[in-house]
């Protein structure tokens, strides 16, 4: 994924608006729109986006693990 497309790609991939992404990573909507349109994305913004995506991945993994744990508890009853 190219730096220029990180914001657009992330919003498309996660089904988010620029405002929703901005709120999620602690930036203003204007900063996100400006960076998306110019392709000039700061390293801190790139890092925030990557960490947000990683958090979502980890939450998904945790939910799967919790479901497995619940199933095991039911099975062991």
Write the CATH number for 40.
Answer: 1.10.260
State pLDDT tens for residues 23-60. 999 999 999 999 999 989 999 999 999 999 999 999 99
Task: Assign 1 a pLDDT band (cuts: 50, 70, 90).
Answer: very low
Residue 64 lies in domain? 3-76
Q: How many domains does the chain have?
A: 1
27 and 48 in contact (C-beta within 8 Å)? yes
Q: Given this model, what pLDDT does residue 2 score?
A: 47
DSSP sequence for 26-40 = T--HHHHHHHHHH--
Task: Assign 67 a pLDDT band (cuts: 50, 70, 90).
Answer: very high
């Amino acid at each position: 994924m190219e730096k220029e497309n990180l914001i657009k790609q992330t919003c498309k991939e996660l089904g988010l608006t620029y405002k929703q992404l901005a709120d999620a990573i602690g930036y203003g909507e204007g900063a996100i729109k400006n960076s998306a349109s110019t392709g000039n994305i700061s390293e801190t913004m790139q890092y925030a986006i990557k960490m947000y995506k990683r958090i979502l991945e980890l939450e998904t993994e945790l939910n799967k693990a919790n479901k497995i744990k619940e199933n095991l508890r039911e099975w062991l009853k």
